[in-house]
Amino acid sequence: MSHYDVVIIGTGAGGGTLAYRLAASGKRILLLERGDYVRREKDNWSSRAVNVDAKYHTREVWQDKHGKPLHPHTNYYVGGNTKFYGAALFRLRKQDFGEIVHHGGISPTWPISYDDLEAYYAQAEYLYQVHGERGVDPTEPPASAPYRFPAVQHEPRIQQLHDDLARCGLRPFHVPLGIMLDEAHPRASKCIRCDTCDGFPCLMHAKSDAQVICVDPALEHPNVTLLTNARVTRLVTSASGREVTCVVMERDGAEERVSGDIVVASCGAINSAALLLRSATDKHPHGLANRSGVVGRHYMGHINSVLLAISRTPNPTVFQKTLAVNDFYFGDAGFPFPMGHISFVGKLDAVALSAGAPAIVPGMTLDLMAKHSLDFWLTSEDLPDPDNRVSLDGRGNIVLSYMPNNVEGHKRLIAKLEHLLQHLDMHPHLVPRNLFVGTRIPLAGVAHQNGTIRFGRDPGTSALDPNCKAHDLDNLYVVDGSFFPSSGAVNPALTIMANALRVGDHLLERLGARASAALQATQ
């Protein structure tokens, strides 16, 4: 059985970033990834292949709490879901690390503060080449460094919306984006600013995803190895139950085993929880690292909606995801509870609409709708409910039980946006009845999954300590989105990346290693 200093399971935002941080240390690092590289092919940018045929989604079938089949919208590839993400790289707000009273309950405190993570946010933004502008987002937390690159400019229709919203007294701002766009030198720019970014892999390798930014550079170090198509099925522990002694995987239909001084699960919040639950033993009868009983519980995924506002003005925007509004993030005078975050999805076309996202407006073709719609993305915080959970059926398959909570703030957020837009140029003649068509993202939309292996100071109520080490084991860590005790209402990836850098520093210290080269690359 081959032995490594560190075995990292999963190569997404958490695992990929951690590998990058550790790579220059000289320690022997093994990355295990159940998927392969995303094949570079024309279908990468085909709306039909991506949105209708779901070509890149896993074919794995989970179940909901009623035992109904659930086809998760998730992707197993080198780079994880960052290969497909919209690269909106937000920091959580400073207040999100403390307790916040919501209409539907309490969002709990984190065991670390915003200040503990701030330097790592700055490093993650630098590493992932975030383009943004400080000082405009009204809820923006303090930052120790400017963005490395200027904000991605709005196209004219979005600039017009920006100006209209600003006239209404709001403070719209540029979405911080991890795309390698050089607007000052378009011919040299790696990114060509196309309309197939959010939800699509980038054919140009110009999106700052975990493969391009972290895994590929990490593999340039001779001490780092990646095994693809290596699905980890179980972690085996020592007789005492205190150490993971063996990582069992399935590769090309055969079982293989490796071991590591340190083992890190970063399979995404649902799969990491499932892996720990599948690794139950006499010493860990309810699953590995689960003395507290919280593993798999407190699943969160945000309350997300897509809202199409059909406007008289055509919307020929190519890259739409440049504008966001956080004025209602913590509520307003009429509703003193958090409502959430307003932004955009990538520009939807008729093919994407045919995949069934929103209801069809009577009397309009999908093409006409798509040509006139502003395609908003609204995110509100869902709260950690122990009954919203990942569990396993008798055959070890994933069961995802979820009951939405804290929905009032989300409804208010939708109403706020609709009210605002009514006063702009939405046209009642083009669309006789439904000015707005919206859809709540269903349970299968697990893009923002988090919270299932929460970190905390109390081993009775959390599975991981503040360094993301399992309370119950000496050498097991988790660095994907599982560790969140609460989810805030902005996209999660930058927080996962920043935390992976933080845990990376802890591991370097624990291993007695230095990673000056990796540090330089993030400063």
Ligand X SMILES: Cc1cc2nc3c(=O)[nH]c(=O)nc-3n(C[C@H](O)[C@H](O)[C@H](O)COP(=O)(O)OP(=O)(O)OC[C@H]3O[C@@H](n4cnc5c(N)ncnc54)[C@H](O)[C@@H]3O)c2cc1C
41 or 332, CB closer to ligand SF4? 41
Burial degree of 69 (CB within 10 A; 0-12, 13-18, 19+): exposed
| Pairing status of strand 254-265 against strand 244-251 | antiparallel
Closest by Cα among 320, 352, 347 to 48: 352
**Dist CA 460 CA 45 (whole Å):** 47
User: Which of 70, 158, 179, 232 is in the footprint of ligand SF4 by CB under 6 A?
Assistant: 179
CA angle 287, 464, 341 (to 5 degrees): 110
Give the separation between CA 166 and CA 159, rounded to whole angstroms: 10
Of 331, 380, 352, the C-alpha closest to 491 is 380
Distance in angstroms (rounded) separating the CA atoms of residues 355 and 366: 11
Count of residues that interact with ligand SF4, criterion CB under 6 A? 13
Partners of 440 in the beta sheet?
305
Indicate the residue among 25 and 266 with the shorter CB distance to ligand X. 266
In whole angstroms, give the CA distance from residue 117 to residue 495: 9
* 379, 491 contact by CB (below 8 A): yes
Out of 288, 464, 496, 508, which residue is the one contacting ligand X (CB under 6 A)?
496
Residue 190 CB, shortest distance to ligand SF4, in Å, is 7
Q: Which is nearer to ligand X, 172 or 492 (CB)?
A: 492
Secondary structure of 211-231 in HEC code, one letter for each residue: HHHHHHHHHCCCCEEEECCEE
Alpha-carbon distances, residue 285 vs 45, 277, 281 (angstroms) = 46, 9, 5
Q: Rounded to whole angstroms, how far apart are CA atoms 158 and 342?
A: 14
x-or-dash pattern for ligand X, window 143-182, by CB under 6 A?
----------------------------------------
CB of 167 vs ligand X, minimal distance in Å: 28
* Contact flags string 61-80 toward ligand X, x per CB under 6 A: ---------------xx--x
The pair of structure tokens assigned to 500 is: 């992976």
**Least distance in Å: CB of 481 to ligand X?**
4
Closest CB 117 distance from ligand X, rounded Å? 15
When CB distances are held under 5 to 8 angstroms depending on the partner's kind, the choice from ligand SF4, ligand X, none that residue 9 binds is ligand X
Q: 6 - beta bridge partners?
A: 29, 262
Tell me which stretch binds ligand X (CB under 6 A): 32-40, 215-223, 292-300, 396-404.
32-40
Q: Which stretch binds ligand SF4 (CB under 6 A): 23-31, 185-193, 267-275, 448-456?
A: 185-193
Among 20, 84, 128, 299, binds ligand X (CB under 6 A): 84
Short-list 439, 435, 440, CA closest to 420: 435
* Smallest separation (angstroms) from ligand SF4 to the CB of 212: 10
Q: Mask 208-247, x = binds ligand X (CB under 6 A)?
A: -----------------------xx---------------
Residue of the chain from 6, 22, 50, 206 that contacts ligand SF4 (CB under 6 A) = 206
Q: Which residues of 259-274 are buried (b: 16+ CB within 10 A; e: fewer)?
A: bbbbbbbbbbbbbbbb
194 binds, among ligand X, ligand SF4, none (CB under 5 to 8 A by kind): ligand SF4
- Which x/- pattern over 416-455 shows residues binding ligand SF4 (rule: CB under 6 A)? ----------------------------------------
Distance of closest approach, residue 35 Cβ to ligand X, in angstroms:
4
Please give the residues from 287 up to 346 whose contact with ligand SF4 meets the rule CB under 6 A: 319
Report the nearest approach of ligand X to the CB of residue 269 (Å).
6
Nearer to ligand SF4, 116 or 183 (CB): 183
Q: Which stretch binds ligand SF4 (CB under 6 A): 12-20, 128-136, 203-211, 507-515?
A: 203-211
Question: Using the rule CB under 6 A, is 271 a contact of ligand X?
Answer: yes
From the list 245, 198, 248, 250, the residue with the least C-alpha distance to 83 is: 198
For ligand SF4, which residue of 191, 300, 431, 489 counts as binding (CB under 6 A)?
Answer: 191
User: Hey, what are 157's tokens?
Assistant: 């229709």
Choose among 155, 203, 163: nearest CA to 179.
203
CA distances from 105 to 242, 266, 293, 409, 461 (A): 36, 29, 22, 11, 18
The residues that touch ligand X, with contacts defined as CB under 6 A, are 9-15, 32-35, 76-77, 80-82, 84-89, 198-199, 231-232, 266-269, 271, 275, 447-448, 480-481, 491-494, 496
The residues that touch ligand SF4, with contacts defined as CB under 6 A, are 179, 191-194, 196-197, 200, 202, 204, 206-207, 319
